[in-house]
Amino acid sequence: VFDRKENVFLASRKSPKQVFYEWNRNLFEKDGEKTDFVEKLFSNTENKFAPAYTRIINKIGKGTNKYVDLFHMIHYLGTLYNSLPQNDIKISKYVQNSNFKDLGFSIKSKNTNKGVSQEEIEKLQIRFKSDLAFEQLIKLWKGITDYLEVDIIEFYKTCKLYHAETDVRLHILGDRPFLLKNEEVSSIYESEFIFPLSKGVTLYRYLGKELKEISAEDRINVDLLIFLQSKHMVCGPDKSYLTAIANVALKYDTQKKIKYLEDKVFKIFEKE
């Protein structure tokens, strides 16, 4: 594990789940008691995806099961993207600029099961929008609503899974895992992107030409960009490879050079 802030390797090896984790991020106090109900909801999504993830990265399954696994993956990507700390401000603005109807909620009286007055709805909106637990919950909810708006079959047709061809899987993971061609999109499904599923498997989502081949140079450039856009931690299975990436990254010391690398990485998506 490489600490970008301190520019050093951590003393001991760790798994990605030990590194890319923020303590108490989904722990909130409600009515004087601490609750992790939001974390349990996120865990439910992760647990459903876990078996599919194992099959995908190990190339297990075909036919119907393969498609179901990919649907789980597509849904999980939307949930994960919205829950990343880098999107906290974006989600906060989304909540503040939306009303219950925009968010897909209908407010009814528990006693009568009928709608309540507009005045009561507006009071509830103010109350909920000031609640950090609600804002965090919306990340999960937005992942679902974004997914439901996607033509899943068409999305699947524009995805390519890259599997490392050798047992020496040198690729890296960072705390900002998505490489997006368009950072301004409201949904992950609206952009071309690159996402490392594991140290040996990477997902490419394209909208231009179909990706026939991904060269070694392309893969190294992806790792380099993942390293550069990571804010704190980067990890990989091979220390010498990660050291080499860290050393090359020093040469990209200006925004202009990083933009040049971004253009180079996403050139693979350009139409012929």
Task: Find the Cα–Cα–Cα–Cα dihedral 158, 265, 84, 94, rounded to 10°.
Answer: -70
User: Taking 60 as the threshold, does the pLDDT of residue 272 lie above it?
Assistant: no
**pTM metric for this prediction:** 0.86
Tens digit of pLDDT for each residue in 190-201?
Answer: 999 999 888 778
Alpha carbons 31 and 26: distance in angstroms, whole number: 16
pLDDT tens column, 208-233: 777 777 888 888 999 999 999 999 99
Q: What is the pLDDT of residues 34-53, one digit of tens each?
A: 888 888 888 888 888 899 88
pLDDT at 234 over 60: yes
Give 249: exposed, middle or buried? Use CB within 10 Å, 0-12, 13-18, 19+.
Answer: buried
